[in-house]
A and B are shown apart, each in its own frame.
Chain A
Amino acid sequence: MNLTLKIWRQKDSNAKGQMVDYKVTEISEHMSFLEMMDVLNEQLVGKGEEPVAFDHDCREGICGMCSMYINGEAHGPDRGITTCQLHMRMFKDGDTITIEPFRAAAFPVIKDLVIDRTAFDRIQHAGGYISVNTSGNTQDANAIPISKHDADEAMDAATCIGCGACVATCKNSSAMLFVGAKVSQYALLPQGQVEAADRVQNMVAQMDLEGFGNCTNTGACEVECPKGISLDNIARMNRELMKAAVK
């Protein structure tokens, strides 16, 4: 396949970026999108040009680093995948592909397609944990009875990899699917009850402080989420916050 790539290039966080056109040739349809980017970068290095900076780590869909907005969609035109799991067979020979970083005021660009997602870390630090003494005498979690339904839903929520596709996709740059998932995974389990009220209040407060937008329930986040995190988690977060407010 021969492709034209329109890629966002930005020298550093202070620089003004722009879209730059590149051509890549002889791309195999079996390649992943990141392998295609590797081919481009080898070309650029060969020509003595600066390669395109992009985040990647596991290349198996669990690290959530590959923050690319491809042809107007987070992680490109496929469902339930990250960019590394997007295959070039989703495109046709001669296509022009637009590649941009995930956009949100709370996710500033560091360089090219690399963004700063530490806002998510700070939200997690605000309450996305349970306080347990790891002294060696910790109770075995399997000794606490939990209904199958709740365990499954908590596990589903916990599959969130914090990639930020929800924020990138949301027309309001809202982080509520991420925070909803992180609140839900504890709200459904007995271990999470002790700190439930503080958790949701502190995490929502931090989310607002970071400058994420307000959810308007378009449902775009759920569609683009590589892990299929459900909107039900946002409803649960709303319930948890209401419960905490009247407590």
Chain B
Amino acid sequence: MSGFFKSSVGRKVAMALSAFFLMFFLIIHLAVNITSLFSADLFNELSHFMGTNPLVQFALQPVLIFGVVFHFVMGFILEIQNKKANGVSYAKNNGGANSSWVSRNMIYSGLVILAFIVLHFIDFWFPELNVKYIQGDMSGMHNGEYRYFHEMVEKFHNPLRVAAYVISFVLLGLHLAHGFTSAFQSVGSTAGRKKTLQNIGKAYSILIPLGFIVIAIFHHLTHNH
């Protein structure tokens, strides 16, 4: 079995499995965030649950971090191997004749997403770790009320941050436009080549990033006084 994951095919499968996990995570993350559009209280409750539940914090979160790191590191390793496999470059190469731009540039959309994750961690995750595990304040309260909604809204005051988020999510959409169906192919399923799953993939890669974009812009416009 260890030999399987050392092979080129096995690594593809591993990339796809981590991708499935991350795509599932995006749905959960969006589902929580979207509540902020209509109920600050519900958003606060859910954020507090996610941020303090031991199962989420000490079982799911490490798996998520591992999944993210693995997907990026393996992506880079495969890209380096692929470049090495190319040999001499073509003087003229018409890639657009036989494949989509997004499928040929997953590494670049991936790099933008990586840059976004760094920004996102600096914005939310690191301060969160600091408050909870370094300062030891697990209450989730600030001045007598839950702090989560307020902290998020504050972040979206800055139009540059909102712009960075929007651009990143557009690139995430492009990454998913190829990645969603590609992951099915990698685990040996031809379902990704059929109309049904291609349409689901299209819908997923548009709706998920669009949801995050709407949330960022909504809070920028409605709380920017």
Q: Does A72 contact B (CB under 8 A)?
A: yes
Q: Count contacts between A and B, CB distance < 8 Å.
A: 145
- 16 further interface pairs, Cβ-Cβ under 8 Å (given A107-B87, A231-B185, A232-B193): A71-B94, A105-B87, A173-B85, A174-B8, A204-B9, A205-B7, A214-B11, A214-B12, A217-B103, A217-B182, A218-B100, A238-B13, A241-B10, A242-B13, A245-B10, A246-B1
Do the beta carbons of A173 and B87 come within 8 Å of each other?
yes
CA of A235 to CA of B78 in the docked complex: distance in angstroms? 19
**B-side interface mostly:** helix
Q: Does B81 contact A (CB under 8 A)?
A: yes
What distance in Å separates the Cβ of A212 from its nearest Cβ neighbour in chain B? 6
Interfacial chain A residues near B178, Cβ < 8 Å: 217-218
What distance in Å separates the Cβ of B89 from its nearest Cβ neighbour in chain A? 7
Q: Does A219 contact B (CB under 8 A)?
A: yes
For chain B, the bracket of interface size reads 35 or more
* Total chain A interface residues with beta-carbon distance under 8 A: 53
Of all chain B residues, the one with the shortest Cβ separation from A173 is B85
CA of A69 to CA of B88 in the docked complex: distance in angstroms? 13
Interfacial chain A residues near B188, Cβ < 8 Å: 235-236, 238-239, 242
Do the beta carbons of B8 and A215 come within 8 Å of each other?
yes
Binding site for B on A (CB under 8 A): 6, 8, 17, 19, 69, 71-73, 77, 98, 100, 103-109, 169, 171-174, 176, 201, 204-205, 207-208, 211-220, 223-224, 231-232, 234-239, 241-242, 245-246
Identify which of B10, B85, B98 contacts A212 (C-beta below 8 A): B85
23 A–B contacts, CB within 8 A, in A order: A69-B93, A103-B86, A103-B90, A104-B87, A105-B85, A171-B86, A173-B87, A176-B8, A208-B7, A212-B8, A213-B8, A214-B11, A215-B186, A216-B106, A217-B181, A219-B98, A223-B99, A235-B189, A238-B13, A238-B186, A238-B188, A239-B188, A246-B1
